[in-house]
Chain A
Amino acid sequence: MNIYGVSLLAFCFLFGKIIGTYLGSLIGLSGDVGGVGFSMFFLVFINSYLKKKNINISKSENGILFWSTMYIPIVVAMSASQNVKAAMLGGWLAVIAGVLVTIVAFILVPLISRISKEDLSKNISK
């Protein structure tokens, strides 16, 4: 049933948030420190554990897959409900940072490809 998947997703989500928030208060910060990342890690871990044990969750999986396809629409709704007027004052920042970061990444591609060429060709030939 779809709800099993959604429930599992909810569990991972809350567990990650709790760890993130506790981790934050442990080091004296108010806020959630890496919670979403922890949640994703749990979901990946549980998912591959179930697959390893050959437990068929394909029907429950649909409940999770639905939410994963909703993330772009949700980001669209989120973008539409931000304080964009105030952000316009720093609009150039977004353009400059976005362009520069991409250019640097382009430049790094041949450098890192060279370092890793041997390692990867080994992996692929396997």
Chain B
Amino acid sequence: MIEKIIDANGLVFAFFVVGIIMYLSYLFSNKILNNKIPGAAIAIIIALGLAFLGDEKGVANLPYMGGMAILGGSMLRDFSVVATAMGVDIVKIKNAGVSGIISLLIGITFSFTLGVLIAFFMGYSDSVSLTTIGAGACTYIVGPVTGSALGASSEIIALSVATGVVKVIVTSICTPLVAGKIGLNNPNSAMVFGGLIGTTSGVAAGLAATDEKLVPYGALTATFYTGLGCLLCPSIFYFIILAFFK
């Protein structure tokens, strides 16, 4: 009886399940980790862990859970990612200045290139997988958006998400530790930092732990990063990769 109801309303059940995962993750982040790792990163780690219980479609292979693949499918994901552009204000681009734009372009190019190189040395040699993993080294959004646009396999997309999540965690934990050494103590370097790292939740968490006042400056450049990454990775960067790999 209940199985029938849930199967017929899979997407709604997925809303319910994801809400619980989010709630527990933010609670854990807030109460136990003192916000040192953002709740979003914890929620994604839990989700990747849950995906172990299933097979090719992760948790969606299990009874009751088919709706997770609908909620997490590429259509709704790309739709919601586009919606985040609403927070972007063109006037702010001017505030970020040339330095913000330089750091964004260098940040995306560097992350992508390094991700591709590491993937290549670890045995991946097809252009779609390399581009997807390189995009994942930008952020955990750019990776899957690029991967599904180019037709990457599910495990490569999962790898790209995991790469982006590792980046969030390292940024969140290490930023306050290295802040002094890299001169992260003024709005200028905070903007450069946001543009170079780009993963908004990591930048915000890392800067908050360093100096609350720097958060808006870092977030200012970081908000442009994912959009720019979604534009560059599956287009220009992919063509460049195509010139070198099949």
Chain A positions within 8 Å of B, measured between CB atoms, are 9-10, 12-13, 16-17, 20, 23, 27, 29-41, 43-45, 47-48, 61, 64-68, 70-87, 89-110, 112-113, 115-117, 119-124
Inter-subunit contact A81/B183 (CB<8 Å):
no
Inter-subunit contact A34/B235 (CB<8 Å):
yes
Inter-subunit contact A120/B158 (CB<8 Å):
no
Known pairs A13-B82, A82-B158; list 18 more (Cβ under 8 Å): A40-B84, A44-B88, A76-B44, A80-B72, A82-B58, A83-B51, A83-B154, A86-B154, A87-B158, A94-B159, A97-B137, A101-B163, A102-B171, A106-B174, A108-B103, A113-B183, A117-B99, A119-B99
B91: which A residues are within 8 A, CB to CB? 48
Q: Does B151 contact A (CB under 8 A)?
A: yes
Inter-subunit contact B166/A94 (CB<8 Å):
yes
Q: How far is the CA of A87 from the CA of B140 in the complex (A)?
A: 15
* B19, B82, B110, B162: residue with the most chain A Cβ atoms closer than 10 Å: B82
Q: How far is the CA of A114 from the CA of B104 in the complex (A)?
A: 15
Q: Which of B58, B114, B229, B232 contacts A81 (CB 8 A)?
A: B58
- B95-122 at interface with A (beta carbon < 8 Å): 95, 97-100, 102-103, 106-107, 110-111, 114-115, 118-119, 122
Instruction: Write the nearest CB–CB distance from A86 to chain B, whole angstroms.
Output: 4
B162: which A residues are within 8 A, CB to CB? 87, 91, 94, 98
Q: Which of A20, A48, A104 contacts B110 (CB 8 A)?
A: A104
Inter-subunit contact A110/B122 (CB<8 Å):
no
* A93, A105, A107: residue with the most chain B Cβ atoms closer than 10 Å: A105
Inter-subunit contact A83/B155 (CB<8 Å):
yes
Q: Does B63 contact A (CB under 8 A)?
A: no
Inter-subunit contact B80/A20 (CB<8 Å):
no
B236 closest partner in A (C-beta): A34
Inter-subunit contact B141/A121 (CB<8 Å):
no
Inter-subunit contact A36/B118 (CB<8 Å):
no
Q: Does B205 contact A (CB under 8 A)?
A: no
Inter-subunit contact B86/A61 (CB<8 Å):
yes
Task: Contacts A33-B235, A80-B72, A107-B182 given; indicate if A67 touches B80 (C-beta within 8 A).
Answer: yes
